[in-house]
Structure 1
């Protein structure tokens, strides 16, 4: 017949060890209430310590950006579906200024301007985050533009060469090939040498899906980050999209690499 031996000292030691590891996080937390909401703007009271451009969280995982800091309320632009926000909803501070995930984990993924995946590929385990609004390097700290960025279009590379560290405007009427030229420049980049960030602003999702399909079929999607603020997204989300894409590209620049950002 088997016997069970109970060791009170071993049980007591295990309980003491578990109690030493057990902690309950606590501290003051500012939770405001929505006073009124509409047209992508919400007025919130009860958050006297909120920072300018701090991210706040509404119910149903809708983020907002604190912009107008008044004496008794805060004006928040809603970075999502503002139709779900109602008067009296609780609003939580995050303690984080507007930031996006950055790094290798985003390559090959399609995300929102907040870095949330929308391609069905699962969550993104980013190793770092970067603030969207950051000071640009000073003139003295910048390296001279002395290396070309090959677009693959001979007429552009020969007559109006683009250098790494330079900005270029592609201007033209509708259906004249602006997106095609930008996508060709992405296709011409060597994977691992120049990381590419394609930012789609106010476009139809079908148009974005066609671009993603081209990049996937040509085998360069794994070298790209697709940031989408479609025509159906809110105006504030479309507003921050180019800044978010630039922040993702600047991470590779600061790591010693090169990046190409296309805002379309």
Structure 2
């Protein structure tokens, strides 16, 4: 069998036509140090701050330090498989996480990878974890309430959509419970919630996820978890990942609530990273830029103007104090960045006043703008009533002869404290909060035994659900109090017919 020269020539020409010269160029460096979640590499002269790098074993890292002779890298994963002398290459990508509707209902780690055992997340969208906060002209004033369902918050320190409200207090005083209850109350409120757990025990996170599932809240919630066994870089990155996931929805015109639980542990992780990277420590051994670390995270919470879709992202950062010391470094930092704080008092918590919100120290800088008119009307005097009650309470301990006006103030204060108590995971719709606070401020609880206040509350809700649901519905839909005479008559009729519990009646008679 003979092959002609022309055929060979034609075959070669055909092969040459389809030939593509693919030359892959990757800038690589050599690892010179690795340990404690941090690596250093020599030879990556063009690496960018925040850029993703890939080690030869497939683990990713993020550029954190740019120095004259090497780069400091935080390892995003298990660093034990990396050794000195390994190669590391640039990816040309800035650190990003997957985003999108597909993330809702899932539990993910700081890199957006699922850890709930429910399979892969089918999304092709991603967003950089670091993003410039919206500018002044891109925002609008916060004017729409975010109802938490917690009476003492919605009445005294109201939160608006797009606000940053700090939850601060000692360990084990109910900070996480308040944040979780706020998430539970967003059911049917057209709100996406993101719960970022930083350094929380895995068993605790599982418990919170089970709670969210039990109340149907996982249908609109993403949980980002960075447990205490994770390397410090993943604890540092977690809140930024949560913010990126929230921004995706905010830019689509939706309302988002993000809980950072808690930023004290993120600060500790950042301090650890910075000291290992040999950054100079600042006050209290924290790097001087810890303020910038938190401010560039929290400033991303905003209410966007109408041209940008009018979406909002509300931030509830949590910070832990030591023995109620709000003047420590991290608390003062975050207080100065946020629009107010909810301070939890450990003495109140242990005395049974839960949620243990200290009305004197807690403040919302948005205030009445984030309240419906009905709530503003009934809650106007609450803060003063509580303040004067606490002042008179300590004074009354030393004197037995009190005039009638002082006694009346003490009685009203005791009932106010009782009304503001609320059970765990039982957020109240705003119309029922208005109803019980109206009963309180208009004196319908004054003649009722303090021990019967919660019984009164439970029964008046049942009575209005059965007979006056139209009045409650009017508060819910319009935000205003219904016809005052009709509403007042209904409350008065219930109060007049209320039956106190026999044990309390007998106890008061024996006294």
Give TM-score scaled by structure 1 length. Answer: 0.87
Residue 226 (1) aligns with residue 228 (2): no
Residue 89 (1) aligns with residue 86 (2): yes
Provide closer, same or farther for how the CA distance between residues 25 and 249 of structure 1 changes in structure 2, counting only shifts above 3 A.
farther
Q: In 1, distance between residues paired with 2:56 and 2:146?
A: 45
Aligned twin of 1:195 = 192
Provide closer, same or farther for how the CA distance between residues 79 and 191 of structure 1 changes in structure 2, counting only shifts above 3 A.
farther
Residue 38 (1) aligns with residue 35 (2): yes
**How far did 1:93 drift?**
1.7
Aligned twin of 2:259 = 262
- Write out the 4+ residue segments of structure 1 that deviate beyond 3 Å after TM superposition: 22-26
Residue 77 (1) aligns with residue 92 (2): no
Q: In 2, distance between residues paired with 1:90 and 1:120?
A: 32
Aligned twin of 2:497 = none
Aligned twin of 1:214 = 211
Q: In 1, distance between residues paired with 2:253 and 2:219?
A: 19
**How far did 1:204 drift?**
0.6
2:242 to 235, 242, 245: 245
Deviations 1:210-237 (A, max 9, x none): 0011111111212111111111111121
Count of matched residue pairs: 246
Q: In 2, distance between residues paired with 1:125 and 1:58?
A: 26
Secondary structure (helix, strand or coil) at the match of 1:113 reads: coil
**How far did 1:106 drift?**
0.6
Higher helix share: 2
Do 1:191 and 1:220's aligned partners in 2 also have CA atoms closer than 8 Å?
no
Aligned twin of 2:123 = 126
Q: In 2, distance between residues paired with 1:59 and 1:216?
A: 40
Q: In 2, distance between residues paired with 1:24 and 1:177?
A: 63
**How far did 1:125 drift?**
2.2
**How far did 1:67 drift?**
1.7
1:28 to 25, 28, 34: 25
Residue 183 (1) aligns with residue 186 (2): no
Moved more, 250-259 or 46-55: 46-55
Do 1:246 and 1:261's aligned partners in 2 also have CA atoms closer than 8 Å?
yes
Extract unaligned runs of 5+ from structure 2: 1-13, 262-511
Q: Report 1 or 2 for greater relative contact order, CA contacts < 8 Å, sequence distance ≥ 6.
A: 1
Secondary structure (helix, strand or coil) at the match of 1:170 reads: strand
Moved more, 251-260 or 88-97: 88-97
**How far did 1:107 drift?**
0.6
Moved more, 38-47 or 230-239: 38-47
Aligned twin of 2:271 = none
Extract unaligned runs of 5+ from structure 1: 1-15
